[in-house]
Structure 1
Amino acid sequence: MLTILAAAFLGGLILNFMPCVFPVISLKAFGLIRHVHDRRTVRIEGLAFMTGVVVTMLLLGAALLTARAGGSAVGWGFQLQSPVLIAALSLIMLGSALNLMGVFEFGLAAQRIGGVAGPKSGPLGAALTGALAIVVATPCTAPFMAGAIGAALVRPPLEAMSIFLALALGFAAPFTAVSLVPACARLLPKPGAWMATLKQVLAFPMLAAAAWLAWVLAQQAGSAALGVLLASSVVLGFAAWLYGVAQRRQFSGLRHRPQLFVSIVLLIGLALPLAGLPTTSDGDSTATTVAAAPATSAPQDKPAKWTPQEIIAQRGHGKPIFVNFTASWCITCQVNDKAALSTKAVKDAMMQTGTVYMIADSTKYNADIDQAISQFGRGGLPVYVVYPADGGEPVLLPQLLSPDIVTSALEKAAKSHS
């Protein structure tokens, strides 16, 4: 159990450096630099950030365990199979980008608009940043994480929640250390006029995250759902602009209630289209095309669609089988695809060994796929499995692939038959 807890803590620590977390983590780093000379504020916001991370992680872990107790074989990142949540996250990222660009501000009454220090979000804002960081971290699975989460899913509830707590503490550790240890805080750059530019630059990773989530939504629910999200994005942008106008009028001592009222009404109106967001792509030709294609580009022209029945039919017939458990919302999956699975070396190795390539796409909920991932002892994506040509026991590959790892595994799987 101590080994599992250590793996969970280390996995949470590494998760800070995964690409899906960067947009939100950069905001927290900006906040710490902003208050670097105010030790009390840094400590309070650092602890608030850790509280948001821990509470959200425990709630997510409890929801995951509850769903599995109810018979659903879901894993890490299961909530991203919901088109409504994907759309909501995309709008949150867009709203954050507009805030960073200065379209509107938080805490404007306490400071001048456009001040270099930026808005003072306070402990509540830091806690919400921690909560958002955990939510957007779920598309990524860091090394050591998968085994720890897989262990949590088969442990008693108290032990399982301890693993999720260790994961949260590892994730929050860097910012907690900077907040509580003056020596660590001194490593941060000094605040200055450069922060005004940095604040605006940080808006672009948020916009990139919003665009990526919109693409994921199209994969899940088709062009109709994407249309709803784009319309909602325009409404959100208009509401943010009106709210910013109201704030500037307030700062100038002018009346601002009409604009503020209209912006609040518009924001409430965002909930209406999201509530009716299409969750399937039935009857949508564009969505059908997207759904038929794998979530990642394939190393062979026509990869087979994974099913439990297809695996049984193909095993032990003299050919290795490579199964790619993936999803459009899994960023680690996309990185592995570009860095390893789509390379010429891997394609050649698959051709030479006669490997049967299968894709198990978990972009939308698939009970069979989630059950298979659980049986392999993994708590989330990506999962890569190689079945030897002689029908022997399957081999799990690491979550971070390289061409050498894949080609070596395929060659060993092919030799098992000879």
Structure 2
Amino acid sequence: RQHGLAHDVLTGLLAVVVASPCTAPFMGVAIAGALAGPPLTGLVVFAALGVGLAAPYVLLAFSPALASHLPRPGAWMDYLRQFLAFPLLGTCVWLLWVATVEGGATTVLLLCSGMVCLAFAAWVYGIAQKRQRHMGHSRSCTALYGVALLGLLGAMALLPALQQQAAQQPGTATALPNGTEAFSQKRLDALHAASKPVFVDMTAAWCITCLVNERVALNTDATKAAMTRYGVTVLRGDWTRRDPAITAFLHAHGRDGVPFYLFVPAQGDAVVLPQILTQGLVLRTITPKP
């Protein structure tokens, strides 16, 4: 309820804290690049993210007249707020699929049970807030807050069971396509010693960038045909569960996450491909040089 520089800074900080988790599926490449590069590069990347978050406020601060072109507050704000819940619900579905891959059907049951507990807690908390706003604080409000807290604790109580269930399941990101082998350092060394070209694909079920690259660049008919034509063996590593061997391989190449693509030709130096692939880039990389 106060104003001033400190208030404005803390308000901006709160906006970043609230908004940033929603950008996680889209910021993976930028954050991975920031962490994998030198410190200065990381600072520049995170500074650019901060500038992007602050840009609307900065523009309005330097040109208040722009505010007159913004839509006036009204009922549309409630509808927009409700509409924006659907992308988050879609993210929940995607994460539920990832959890299914990692932990199996029992994990889905535990997660859905926890979501029901959270929904119940939020519903009761909303009722308590409404009663307190119209009737003032009372014992019934205190009781409702207590029930909401029990719902929250019930959801949290399922976390140890979720962790135990995930530890018991092997889990794989996706089934390996035809002509693709599971990655191992031993297999990579054997193929390289035999002078055979190898394409290493490090992926994870929760990596949206990986899934898009597979669809548009790696699992296309043209790419598969070229891999067969040039005798390229594809080794795919599943980092969905943070496999230690794959983690060591990534660190050896200066990376802290996926996607990671490496082409080891029959002769010559290995080539690290960018995190965003195109079919043309992959074809140019694996085509033998004259």
Match of 2:240 among 363, 368, 374: 363
2 CA distance for matches of 1:184 and 1:327? Answer: 44
Which segment is superposed worse, 344-353 or 304-313?
344-353
2 CA distance for matches of 1:225 and 1:256? Answer: 34
2 CA distance for matches of 1:184 and 1:406? Answer: 46
Instruction: Pick closer, same or farther for the CA change 1:49–1:175 going to 2, 3 Å.
Output: farther
Query: 2:157 aligns to what?
Result: 272
Query: 1:82 aligns to what?
Result: none
Instruction: Give the structure-1-normalised TM-score.
Output: 0.60
Over residues 121-164 of structure 1, what are the superposed CA-to-partner deviations in whole Å (9 max), with x where a residue is unaligned?
Answer: xxx4x253155357x3587213xx65542234xxxxxxx4x554
Paired residue secondary structure (1:384):
strand
How do 1:231-380 and structure 2 match up within 5 A?
Answer: 231-253=113-135, 255-279=140-164, 290-291=171-172, 295-296=173-174, 300-380=177-257
Query: 2:285 aligns to what?
Result: 409
Tell me how far 1:173 sits from its aligned partner.
0.7
- Unaligned stretches of 5+ in structure 2? none
1 CA distance for matches of 2:165 and 2:122? Answer: 30
Instruction: Pick closer, same or farther for the CA change 1:200–1:316 going to 2, 3 Å.
Output: same
Instruction: Pick closer, same or farther for the CA change 1:297–1:342 going to 2, 3 Å.
Output: farther
Residue 319 of structure 1 contacts residue 353 of structure 1 at CA under 8 Å; is this kept in 2? no
Over residues 310-341 of structure 1, what are the superposed CA-to-partner deviations in whole Å (9 max), with x where a residue is unaligned?
Answer: 10111143532111011112111111111211
2 CA distance for matches of 1:184 and 1:307? Answer: 57
Over residues 30-85 of structure 1, what are the superposed CA-to-partner deviations in whole Å (9 max), with x where a residue is unaligned?
Answer: xxxxxxxxxx799956x44764xxxxxxxxxxxxxxxxxxxxxxxxxxxxxxxxxx
Instruction: Pick closer, same or farther for the CA change 1:240–1:281 going to 2, 3 Å.
Output: closer
Q: Does 1:171 align with 2:49?
A: yes
- Greater C-alpha radius of gyration: 2
Instruction: Pick closer, same or farther for the CA change 1:240–1:402 going to 2, 3 Å.
Output: same
Which segment is superposed worse, 182-191 or 237-246?
182-191
Over residues 350-400 of structure 1, what are the superposed CA-to-partner deviations in whole Å (9 max), with x where a residue is unaligned?
Answer: 12222211111111122221121122223321111111123x321111111
How do 1:28-107 and structure 2 match up within 5 A?
Answer: 47-48=9-10, 51=13
Paired residue secondary structure (1:141):
helix
Paired residue secondary structure (2:162):
coil
Match of 1:132 among 21, 25, 31: 21
- Unaligned stretches of 5+ in structure 1? 1-39, 52-123, 153-159
Paired residue secondary structure (1:322):
strand
Query: 1:93 aligns to what?
Result: none
Tell me how far 1:244 sits from its aligned partner.
1.6
Query: Higher relative contact order by CA 8 Å / sep ≥ 6: 1 or 2?
Result: 1
Instruction: Give the structure-2-normalised TM-score.
Output: 0.84
2 CA distance for matches of 1:358 and 1:336? Answer: 15
Residue 191 of structure 2 contacts residue 197 of structure 2 at CA under 8 Å; is this kept in 1? no
Instruction: Pick closer, same or farther for the CA change 1:346–1:191 going to 2, 3 Å.
Output: farther
Tell me how far 1:266 sits from its aligned partner.
1.2
Instruction: Pick closer, same or farther for the CA change 1:305–1:128 going to 2, 3 Å.
Output: same
Residue 107 of structure 2 contacts residue 162 of structure 2 at CA under 8 Å; is this kept in 1? yes
Residue correspondences, number = 281
Paired residue secondary structure (1:358):
strand
Give the CA RMSD over aligned residues: 3.0
2 CA distance for matches of 1:349 and 1:296? Answer: 22
2 CA distance for matches of 1:209 and 1:296? Answer: 19
2 CA distance for matches of 1:263 and 1:42? Answer: 36
Query: 1:386 aligns to what?
Result: 263
How do 1:198-213 and structure 2 match up within 5 A?
Answer: 198-213=80-95
Tell me how far 1:281 sits from its aligned partner.
5.1
Amino acid at match of 1:129: V
2 CA distance for matches of 1:340 and 1:42? Answer: 49
